């Protein structure tokens, strides 16, 4: 009888130990899960986006307006380039052609799920001609020379589906120059975005004459290079989109923006989406016109 009781207690003891072991294992797994979720949330706010971020990210259920954010000055591997391409919403990355990192930055943007366009250097009224590089578009060039530069730029920047102007306050006022550019774009079924560096730009007029899709920049994000100012501009962008249905902003990598612009965009994503704003590539705004 004593022997049976001993066996019985041993069995009970083992079952209790097994139960405690299972409970401990469940607790550990729950703890790991909570830590993982916290880490993911922190990453979305201030760190680099990951594949997990994209899987769990939320967008507005009811879309009230659409915005496209063009980021200029890719091609130099400048400040914030990698971080910008890790943002888990579709940006439109404007790559300056004929630079050491033009192809690499275009690949990086494409692999990050972003749209690629060409940021074509064009002659300004005021500025150092060297800023245009060896193949900038100036008013002294012939029609054939301009078209050749545009064709070379398209070959130079993989995945490009459109263009916008880099500087260009003088060139964008010249119908001859813009006609030469949009003629090539029409051949390649590409769109153009007017960065609006001149209030006298003829890009819209000429593009429409040639039946080339045209959109215009509404907001510059990082003229003031601090996070609160950039966030204010992003909120203004959202308000314009709510009123007009869509809106385009331009920000920068490199010294004109870079990592501070990255941080501001990341912090404003949930704010914009709560407003009912959806971030889309520029090409989707053309389709919704």
CB atoms within 10 A of CB 93: 31
Instruction: Show me where the domains of the chain are located.
Output: 1-46, 62-287
Task: Give residue 33's pLDDT.
Answer: 57
The one-digit pLDDT tens for each residue of the chain (289 residues) are: 544 444 444 455 555 556 565 656 666 555 555 454 544 443 433 333 444 344 344 554 689 999 999 999 999 999 999 999 999 999 999 999 999 999 999 999 999 999 999 999 999 999 877 778 889 999 999 999 999 999 999 999 999 999 999 999 999 999 999 999 999 999 999 999 999 999 999 999 999 999 999 999 999 999 999 999 999 999 999 999 999 999 999 999 998 899 999 999 999 999 999 999 999 999 999 976 5
Residue that has been written with the tokens 């259920």 in this structure: 61
Q: Is the dihedral of CA 205, 206, 209, 211 positive or negative?
A: negative
Rounded Cα distance, 65 and 88, in Å: 19
Q: Tokens for 270, please give them.
A: 């949930």
Task: Give residue 134's pLDDT.
Answer: 83
CATH superfamily of 62-287: Glycoside hydrolase/deacetylase (3.20.20.370)
Find residue 247's DSSP bridge partners.
Answer: 67
Task: Give residue 59's pLDDT.
Answer: 52
Task: Give residue 131's pLDDT.
Answer: 77
Q: What letter does residue 79 receive in the DSSP assignment?
A: T
């Amino acid at each position: 009888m004593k022997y049976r009781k001993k066996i019985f207690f041993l069995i009970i003891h083992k079952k209790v130990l097994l139960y405690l072991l299972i409970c401990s294992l469940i607790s550990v797994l729950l703890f790991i899960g909570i830590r993982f979720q916290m880490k993911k949330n922190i990453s979305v706010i201030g760190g680099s986006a990951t594949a997990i971020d994209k899987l769990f990210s939320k967008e507005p259920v009811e879309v009230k307006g659409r915005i496209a954010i063009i980021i200029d000055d890719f091609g130099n591997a400048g400040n914030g380039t990698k971080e910008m391409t890790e943002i888990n919403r579709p940006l439109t990355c404007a790559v300056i052609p004929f630079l050491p990192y033009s192809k690499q930055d275009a690949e990086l943007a494409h692999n990050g799920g972003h749209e690629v366009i060409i940021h074509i250097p064009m002659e300004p009224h005021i500025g150092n001609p060297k800023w245009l590089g060896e193949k900038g578009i100036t008013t002294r060039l012939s029609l054939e020379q301009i078209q050749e530069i545009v064709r070379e730029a398209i070959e130079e920047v993989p995945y490009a589906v459109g263009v916008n102007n880099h500087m260009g306050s003088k060139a964008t006022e010249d119908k001859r120059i813009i006609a030469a550019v949009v003629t090539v774009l029409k051949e390649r079924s590409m769109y153009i975005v007017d960065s609006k560096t001149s209030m006298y730009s003829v890009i819209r007029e000429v593009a429409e004459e040639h039946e080339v899709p045209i959109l215009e920049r509404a907001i510059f994000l990082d003229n003031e290079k601090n996070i609160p100012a950039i966030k204010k501009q992003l909120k203004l962008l959202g308000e314009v989109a709510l009123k007009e249905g869509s809106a385009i902003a331009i920000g920068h990598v490199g010294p004109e923006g870079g990592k501070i612009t990255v941080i501001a965009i990341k912090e404003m994503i949930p704010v914009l989406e709560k407003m009912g704003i959806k971030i889309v590539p520029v090409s989707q705004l053309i389709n919704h016109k």
